[in-house]
Structure 1
Amino acid sequence: MDTQLTIIIPIYNEEENMDRLYKEMAAFLPVAKKKTKILFIDDGSKDKSLEHIRRICDENPSFNYISFDKNYGLSAAIKAGFDQVSTPWVGYIDADLQTQPSDFNILLDYAENYDLVTGVRVDRKDSFIKNMSSKIANGIRRSFTNDCMNDTGCPLKIIKTKYAKKIPMFNGLHRFLPAMILLQNGKIIQVPVSHFPRLAGKSKFNVWNRLIGPLCDCFAYVWMKKKYINYTIKESKNE
């Protein structure tokens, strides 16, 4: 059976999580509802993350990686993953495993009928400040995008690759993936998934890049929405 889903995992200074990440992703592969492979995106890690990634990919042919020459940020890592993927679906999960790989099977139940399926974190295990800033940021984005998504920042998603490759990514746009699928007249849905506390490593986000930064990105999205080109070919003759 051909591989149907590639799960991309951006990595930036996550050496403390790598063994656990490998164990959980490897355990998911045999039970995935679609044949799956993993693509690590090393975003210029300064710790030993890349050493772990190389070892994992040498040990298991279902794991592959690309590595940046320096840190470019989460949006760039996600775009690089989209650019590399050749399977019909592309998934995304964070390396901190605050969402669990097994929940991809929940999303896969909807993958045939929707162009993006995103998780919405139930009973979040983050701090009060993190939860509140995320809630406010989601509300601001929702007012700009009208995407009806309650948790666009949930790091558990599945997208049809043909839609993912047409997303014009820029820094910060990873927060607008559902809205960007809507711009392509795609169908989106959110489904509840589990959430867990971070057990190792440090969060790369704070109040500034979770709240103030996304507000600025909203204006970029509005500009892009006005300029976005989308068309449907009625008929053609190509020789």
Structure 2
Amino acid sequence: MDYSLTIIVPLYNEEENLKRVEEKMMEYISNSRINTQVLFVNDGSKDNSEKLVIDICQRNPEFKYISFEKNAGLSAAIKAGFDYSETNLTGYIDSDLQTDPFDFNLLLDEIDNYDLVTGYRHERKDSGIKNLSSHVANTVRNWFTHDGMDDTGCPLKIIRTDYAKRIPMFSGLHRFLPAMILLQGGRIKQVPIKHFPRIAGTPKFGLRNRLIKPLMDCFAYLWMKKNYINYKVGRRS
């Protein structure tokens, strides 16, 4: 089958969620308006996640996976997904399924006119501390990036794959995807999506990951922006 959309599902120690991921993603694929496949990126899980992923991929031809030799972080997992995607469009959703795969349809409604469409969780179902820290982090990022996004960390996005593959690798990249598309002269949009509480597994980010590390990443982004090389070929022979 020729696929048009690859949905990246990064995971690290998510054995409690993977059966639900299989069910929800198969339900979406069966009703998707375009041919869609799933790419698991196992970020060096130490639990039973890899075996479960292999079983899922053997049962369903729409699923495939890559596995890191050791944990490399969410940004590396997303970048690997971009690198291995072979479709015109690449999506991204977290394995905790706090966002709804069917909301990819809301992003697909807009992608013809944009190079990245991201959701924003306008009614988040997280703890007060988590919501506050994310709000502060997003506000600080906007000071640096001026990308106009309210929720750059939202784990539901669709990107044109040729743009995604040109995003350079750096730690914290997942927080700056809209800004990196803007650096390429691309067009971005955000749309409101649903959000749900995490019902299984353990969150991988604490207060330090949501405040201190993102601030450090903002300075890395400023360096990237100053030194970023962007070009378009006019003619060739």
State TM-score, norm by structure 2.
0.99
Q: Which runs of 5+ in 2 are unaligned?
A: none
| CA-CA distance at 1:235 after TM superposition | 2.6
Number of aligned residue pairs: give it.
237
Report the secondary structure of 1:110's partner residue.
helix
Amino acid at match of 1:87: T
Q: Which residue of 2 aligns with 1:30?
A: 30
Q: Which residue of 2 aligns with 1:85?
A: 85
Note the 1:18-97 alignment, pairs <5 A.
18-97=18-97
**Separation in structure 1 between the aligned mates of residue 235 and residue 91 of structure 2, nearest angstrom:** 32
Q: Which residue of 1 aligns with 2:6?
A: 6
**Separation in structure 2 between the aligned mates of residue 122 and residue 139 of structure 1, nearest angstrom:** 15
| CA-CA distance at 1:233 after TM superposition | 2.6
**Separation in structure 2 between the aligned mates of residue 148 and residue 105 of structure 1, nearest angstrom:** 22
| CA-CA distance at 1:122 after TM superposition | 2.1
Amino acid at match of 2:8: I
Identical amino acids, percent of aligned pairs: 62
Q: Which residue of 2 aligns with 1:204?
A: 204
> Is 1:11–1:43's contact at 8 Å kept on the other side of the alignment?
yes
Amino acid at match of 1:75: S
2:153 is aligned with 1:153: yes
**Separation in structure 1 between the aligned mates of residue 123 and residue 169 of structure 2, nearest angstrom:** 30
Q: Which residue of 1 aligns with 2:173?
A: 173
**Separation in structure 2 between the aligned mates of residue 21 and residue 213 of structure 1, nearest angstrom:** 29
**Separation in structure 2 between the aligned mates of residue 27 and residue 51 of structure 1, nearest angstrom:** 22
Note the 1:88-167 alignment, pairs <5 A.
88-167=88-167
**Separation in structure 1 between the aligned mates of residue 206 and residue 233 of structure 2, nearest angstrom:** 44
| CA-CA distance at 1:113 after TM superposition | 0.9
Amino acid at match of 2:179: A
**Separation in structure 2 between the aligned mates of residue 232 and residue 100 of structure 1, nearest angstrom:** 36
Q: Which residue of 2 aligns with 1:16?
A: 16
State TM-score, norm by structure 1.
0.98
Amino acid at match of 1:172: G
**Separation in structure 1 between the aligned mates of residue 31 and residue 169 of structure 2, nearest angstrom:** 32
Q: Which residue of 2 aligns with 1:230?
A: 230
Q: Deviations over 1:48-78 (max 9, x none)?
A: 0111101000000000000010000000000
| CA-CA distance at 1:112 after TM superposition | 1.0
Report the secondary structure of 2:203's partner residue.
coil
Q: Which runs of 5+ in 1 are unaligned?
A: none
**Separation in structure 1 between the aligned mates of residue 13 and residue 58 of structure 2, nearest angstrom:** 20
**Separation in structure 1 between the aligned mates of residue 208 and residue 33 of structure 2, nearest angstrom:** 38
> Is 1:33–1:108's contact at 8 Å kept on the other side of the alignment?
no
Amino acid at match of 2:128: F
What is the RMSD of the two structures over their aligned residues, measured on CA atoms?
A: 0.8
**Separation in structure 2 between the aligned mates of residue 7 and residue 159 of structure 1, nearest angstrom:** 10
| CA-CA distance at 1:47 after TM superposition | 0.4
**Separation in structure 1 between the aligned mates of residue 149 and residue 18 of structure 2, nearest angstrom:** 30
Report the secondary structure of 1:202's partner residue.
coil
| CA-CA distance at 1:173 after TM superposition | 1.2
Report the secondary structure of 2:201's partner residue.
coil
**Separation in structure 2 between the aligned mates of residue 195 and residue 35 of structure 1, nearest angstrom:** 25
| CA-CA distance at 1:218 after TM superposition | 0.2
Amino acid at match of 1:110: E
